[in-house]
Amino acid sequence: MDREALIEVLEPGDVLLVAGNSRVSRIIQVLTKSQWSHAALYIGDTALRHTDPRIRAHAERHGDEAPYLFLEADIETGVALVPLSHYRGDSARICRPIGLDNEGRKVLLEHGLGRLCEAYDTSQLLDLVRYLLPLAQLPARLAQRLWMANTGESSRTICSTMLVEAFQAIHYPVLPEIPGACYDRALCYRVRNARLFVPADFDLSPFFRIVKYQGIDHPRFAQNPFRPEIVSWQ
């Protein structure tokens, strides 16, 4: 991971996908057939400037890294603010919501920060793993009635669910269902149960742009577009 390149490109509201190397991460990667096992929301210095002193205190404890924070839900720490260095050594991808305005971004970040310190929902993780098992596949809507019917404590969550619920709070689609009877030219979607999402869904979503932070999206190419002849091979 190129830390400096990420800092130059990241914007609040971006979703960072991470390829972890823990046992749980490897299980998620195998079951989802994706390298992405974890998702976090980039909030930048939003927590550092927050009006709530409790939230500011959580940001300030990160010192010089406080202006570059992510909100994540981790099995060990629950919902917490983490610095960019937390993902040092991990492969990462930036997914940017297309067309999100400043007001929507503000509500998105506020919704996420409102869940700070919530516990991690290990029971939901187990339900999700069971749902993803090849021999246990059921239609998504049936799964919502069976394995996902018991939502557990509202003060518990996992990384992908927390992020999807934040985007659903501003009516921003990630991977919604398309009703069969929807023939209108306008976009017509049905909200999916946020508990059925996995980190890879942000990568697959047509509503998020993949940001090439080490390549053509880096600010150094803003004035001088990339040309292959400038590459220095070693």
Sign of CA dihedral 65, 95, 28, 201: positive
Q: pLDDT tens across 201-213, in order? A: 999 999 999 998 8
User: CA 227, 233, 234 angle in degrees (round to 5)?
Assistant: 160
> What percent of the chain has a predicted confidence (pLDDT) above 90?
44
> What percent of the chain has a predicted confidence (pLDDT) above 70?
80
CA 69 to chain centre: 13
Give me the residue label for tokens 């920060």: 113
Mean pLDDT of 84-103: 92
Q: pLDDT tens across 100-111, in order? A: 999 999 999 999
Mean pLDDT of 89-101: 92
Residue 208 identity = F
**Angstrom distances, CA of residue 108 to CA of 97, 111, 114:** 11, 5, 10
Identify whether the C-beta of residue 112 lies closer than 8 Å to the C-beta of residue 100: no
**Angstrom distances, CA of residue 210 to CA of 94, 104, 214:** 6, 20, 12
Identify whether the C-beta of residue 45 lies closer than 8 Å to the C-beta of residue 23: no
Q: How far apart are CA 39 and CA 16, in angstroms?
A: 6
Three-state SS for 106? helix
Structural domains in the chain, CATH included, are: 3-230 (3.90.1720.10)
Q: Which of 2-16, 21-35, 183-197 has the lowest mean pLDDT?
A: 183-197
Residue 109, pLDDT score: 97
How many CB atoms neighbour CB 132 within 10 A?
17
Q: How far apart are CA 188 and CA 146, in angstroms?
A: 26
Mean pLDDT of 92-116: 95
Task: Give 83's pLDDT tier (boundaries 50, 70, 90).
Answer: very high
**Angstrom distances, CA of residue 40 to CA of 131, 156, 163, 193:** 22, 16, 7, 19
Residue 107, pLDDT score: 97
212: exposed, middle or buried (Cβ count in 10 Å: 0-12, 13-18, 19+): middle
Mean pLDDT of 21-50: 86
pTM metric for this prediction = 0.82
Q: How far apart are CA 195 and CA 160, in angstroms?
A: 8
Q: pLDDT tens across 129-180, in order? A: 666 665 455 555 555 555 555 555 556 778 889 999 999 999 999 987 766 6
Average pLDDT value over all residues in the chain: 83
Mean pLDDT of 46-65: 96
